[in-house]
């Protein structure tokens, strides 16, 4: 019952966001129908574009899961960007040091595990500070974001410099997450092994949250830490663990982004996907499968806006505006909840009458 309400809320937010986008397009003097046509075409018109949409969505699924998992356990992880950087840095360092020593089928799993550990440990700092000293995780993760930012800023030029001072060397194909057959299947798109990682992560998180003892404990701590404590659950341990799992997901996002989607690691950038994860989680109602769906949708908007811009006079910022408006409507979802309840009541009455 609540699930259908969540879906209704998300769809309403998307719909109103698109309507708002249409109004902006019309205001900028363009035909909204043409705008949306090119936007969706840009994301879906051929197999390569679909591949790119999926590749963009991959990162968003993982950061979305990271934020959603933290939310479900009562934590606001605003540090997915920093955890992503650490995961990405670990992956980049490994990829540039491998030199074909390990074959791909061994190397990729190893990188994924290390990136997860990197993100997990990074996030666990904030978790530990929260559990032990009651430092709010928002404050702590904002700090660790900048720590990660400056670590990358130092490490990449110092040890892994590429052609430019501001980026790492190019990730060689034998260490990259791009797979020959997958790239060929999608006509040379950015799509990479991360797509499977994201799908697997969604399923694993869904199982952890809904079916395991661990999920029961973590959610209990998230909903009511006093009651969890009363029931004998170790609250401190669970807060740290919840942050670590959330960070592990962001770490995965970093690995798939920096050695899968991208060709090198740039310095001086906090990846926006880390923050977009918050929006993805919000629209997905913090449920793993909801996150998957909303990440796909956001991925579509992200990858379609360039094409829309090329084919019409609509500025690409409209795409971002639509995303922002959807976030706004998702955040004020209580309005839709009311509407949903109202419609349901009315429907019931009519059925009775």
Partner 1 sequence: MEHVVEMLNITKAFPGIIANDDISIQLRKGEILALLGENGAGKSTLMSILFGLYTPDAGRILVRGKEIQIANPNVANELGIGMVHQHFKLVHNFTVTENIILGMEPKKGPFLQTRDAAEKIRQLSKHYGLNVDPDAKIEDVSVGMQQRVEILKMLYRDAEVLIFDEPTAVLTPQEIIDLMKIMRNLIKEGKSIILITHKLKEIKEIADRCTVIRRGKVIGTVDVEATTSAQMAEMMVGRQVSFTVDKPDQAAGEVVLELKDLRVQSSRKTEAVKGFSLQVRSGEILGLAGVDGNGQTELVEALTGLRKVESGSILFKGKDVTNLSILHRIREGMAHIPEDRQKRGLVLDYTMEENMVLEIYGLPPFAKYGFLNKPEIRKYAEKLMNDFDVRAGEGPLAMARSLSGGNQQKAIVGREVAHDPDLLIAVQPTRGLDVGSIEYIHKRLVEQRNNGKAVLLVSLELDEIMDLSDRIAVISHGELTGIKMPKETNEAEIGLMMAGVSEGAQA
Taking CB under 8 A as the rule, does residue 230 contact partner 1? Answer: yes
> To the nearest 10°, the Cα dihedral for 269, 272, 274, 278?
150
**Cα distance between residue 72 and residue 205, in whole Å:** 11
Shorter beta-carbon distance to partner 1: residue 218 or 330:
218
Strand partners, 167: 266
Taking CB under 8 A as the rule, does residue 220 contact partner 1? Answer: yes
Taking CB under 8 A as the rule, does residue 26 contact partner 1? Answer: no
Strand partners, 168: 161
Query: Kindly report the CA angle at 279 between 336 and 119, in degrees rounded to 5?
Result: 145
Least Å from the CB of residue 11 to partner 1: 24
Is residue 112 within 8 Å of residue 197, measured between CB atoms? yes
Q: Which stretch binds partner 1 (CB under 8 A): 88-96, 148-156, 186-194, 213-221?
A: 213-221
Least Å from the CB of residue 336 to partner 1: 19
Identify the helix (H) or strand (E) that includes residue 88: helix 80-98
Is residue 21 within 8 Å of residue 325, measured between CB atoms? yes
The one among 76, 173, 223, 342 contacting partner 1 by CB under 8 A? 223
Is residue 243 within 8 Å of residue 70, measured between CB atoms? yes
The one among 132, 136, 211, 313 contacting partner 1 by CB under 8 A? 211
Least Å from the CB of residue 74 to partner 1: 10
Query: Kindly report the CA angle at 303 between 298 and 282, in degrees rounded to 5?
Result: 10
Pattern 141-160, partner 1, x by CB under 8 A = --------------------
The one among 153, 216, 275, 328 contacting partner 1 by CB under 8 A? 216
Shorter beta-carbon distance to partner 1: residue 78 or 228:
228
Taking CB under 8 A as the rule, does residue 219 contact partner 1? Answer: yes
Taking CB under 8 A as the rule, does residue 133 contact partner 1? Answer: no
Taking CB under 8 A as the rule, does residue 233 contact partner 1? Answer: yes
Is residue 264 within 8 Å of residue 162, measured between CB atoms? yes
Taking CB under 8 A as the rule, does residue 226 contact partner 1? Answer: yes
Shorter beta-carbon distance to partner 1: residue 151 or 233:
233
Taking CB under 8 A as the rule, does residue 343 contact partner 1? Answer: no
- 161: three-class secondary structure by DSSP: strand
Distances (CA, A) of 253 to 58, 231, 304, 321, 322: 8, 35, 21, 24, 24
Shorter beta-carbon distance to partner 1: residue 159 or 342:
342
Taking CB under 8 A as the rule, does residue 228 contact partner 1? Answer: yes
Taking CB under 8 A as the rule, does residue 232 contact partner 1? Answer: yes
Least Å from the CB of residue 239 to partner 1: 16
Shorter beta-carbon distance to partner 1: residue 221 or 308:
221
Site for partner 1 in 179-208 (CB under 8 A): none
Q: Which stretch binds partner 1 (CB under 8 A): 148-156, 232-240, 249-257, 319-327?
A: 232-240
Least Å from the CB of residue 6 to partner 1: 15
Sign of CA dihedral 124, 126, 129, 130: negative
Query: Kindly report the CA angle at 104 between 101 and 107, in degrees rounded to 5?
Result: 70
Shorter beta-carbon distance to partner 1: residue 178 or 219:
219
Residues whose CB falls within 8 Å of the CB of residue 232, separated by 6 or more in sequence, listed in order: none
Query: 125, 162, 161, 158: which is closest to 144 by C-alpha?
Result: 125
Site residues (vs partner 1, CB under 8 A): 211-214, 216-217, 219-220, 223-224, 226-234, 345
């Amino acid at each position: 019952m609540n699930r259908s309400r969540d879906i209704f809320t998300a769809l309403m937010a998307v719909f109103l966001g698109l309507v708002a986008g249409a109004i902006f397009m019309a205001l900028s003097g363009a035909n909204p129908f043409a705008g949306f046509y090119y936007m969706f075409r840009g994301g879906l018109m051929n197999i390569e574009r679909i591949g790119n949409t999926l590749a963009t969505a991959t990162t968003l699924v993982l950061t979305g899961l990271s934020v959603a998992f933290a939310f479900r356990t009562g934590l606001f992880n605003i540090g997915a960007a920093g955890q992503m950087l650490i995961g990405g840095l670990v992956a980049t360092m490994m990829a540039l040091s491998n030199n074909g020593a390990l074959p791909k089928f061994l190397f990729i799993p190893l990188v994924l595990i290390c990136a997860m550990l990197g993100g997990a440990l990074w996030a666990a700092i904030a978790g530990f500070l929260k559990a032990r000293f009651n430092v709010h995780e928002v404050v702590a993760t904002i700090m660790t974001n900048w720590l990660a930012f400056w670590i990358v800023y130092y490490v990449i030029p110092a040890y892994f410099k590429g052609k430019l001072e501001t980026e790492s060397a190019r990730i060689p194909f034998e260490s990259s997450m791009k797979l020959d057959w997958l790239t060929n299947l999608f006509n040379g798109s950015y799509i990479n092994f991360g797509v499977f990682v994201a799908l697997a992560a969604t399923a694993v998180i869904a199982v952890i949250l809904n079916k395991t003892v661990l999920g029961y404990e973590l959610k209990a701590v998230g909903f009511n830490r006093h009651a969890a404590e009363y029931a004998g659950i170790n609250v401190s341990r669970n807060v740290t663990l919840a942050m670590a799992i959330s960070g592990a997901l962001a770490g995965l996002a970093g690995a798939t982004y920096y050695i899968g989607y991208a060709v090198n690691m740039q310095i001086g950038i906090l990846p926006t996907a880390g923050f977009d994860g918050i929006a993805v989680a919000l629209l997905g109602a913090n449920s793993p499968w909801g996150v998957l769906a909303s990440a796909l949708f956001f991925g579509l908007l992200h990858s379609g806006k360039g094409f829309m811009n090329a084919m019409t006079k609509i500025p690409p910022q409209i795409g971002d505006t639509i995303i922002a408006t959807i976030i706004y409507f998702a955040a004020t979802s209580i309005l839709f909840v009311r509407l949903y309840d109202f419609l349901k009541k009315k429907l019931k009455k009519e059925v009775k009458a």
